[in-house]
Chains A and B, each alone.
Chain A
């Protein structure tokens, strides 16, 4: 069992609330005295993931497990799925609609950013069923 287990429901219909879960995780990690660079990487990667849940997944669930030597984040949705994960991972590739771009997102940087800031990342996606993104941040690794 992890030192700290957190679960969040991310609403799919309210873009203004995207980031609440990531903000809460960041706050809790700070209170635990976690390594600052790891906190930042967790916050950014999870925030990008939350934005994706809202834009593409129709909302979903975020599950975070904190241990002294790692933070594991799982983002789970029952959205349309990603037909070509490799393509989706390319910087600049985006299927986000114009209204999302007007809000400052949808530049095709979400998934590449999540990979950049984490030490491990896997995407399990089935079209018509949903997507699960798992990420791990290890303190002291990347910087």
Chain B
């Protein structure tokens, strides 16, 4: 799917618009950035409920280009500014983590883990 499909599926608000035509195949959902750094491989989308600039930094190190904040949390400006600087797309969905991940999985996105 493309990033713009995620926007439709998760009824997202686009907070920072990067490349919405970008093709994405895998995603990772986590509030623990240490786990993202430890276990993620080749995922391009990060779903999280955590709200601080280290979310953007973590995504940057992992070559992820789309961050989705779940539960409709207000996103602070510092996070948005940094994401814009790094050419990322930032989305906000009203869905909670479990539902958001489930809807994307149903739409064809996968976790990219070895066990699948």
Contact = CB atoms under 8 A, between A and B. Distances in A.
Interface of A: 15-16, 18-19, 22-23, 26, 40, 43-44, 47-48, 51, 103-110, 112-113, 116
A19 B60 contact: yes
Interface in B37-83: 37-38, 48, 50, 52-55, 57-58, 60-63, 78
Nearest to B55: A104
A18 B61 contact: no
B61 A104 contact: no
Given A107-B35, A109-B38, A110-B34, A40 B55 contact: no
Nearest to B50: A104
B53 A104 contact: no
Main SS class of interface, B: helix
B57 A18 contact: yes
Contacts of A112: 38
A104 B57 contact: no
Contacts, number: 69
A104 B32 contact: yes
A40 B62 contact: yes
Given A40-B63, A47-B61, A105-B54, 14 more contacts: A16-B53, A16-B78, A19-B54, A19-B61, A23-B60, A43-B61, A44-B62, A47-B57, A48-B37, A104-B33, A104-B34, A108-B34, A109-B38, A113-B37
A113 B61 CA distance: 13
Contact of B37 (A15, A26, A44): A44
B52 A104 contact: yes
A23 to B, nearest CB: 6
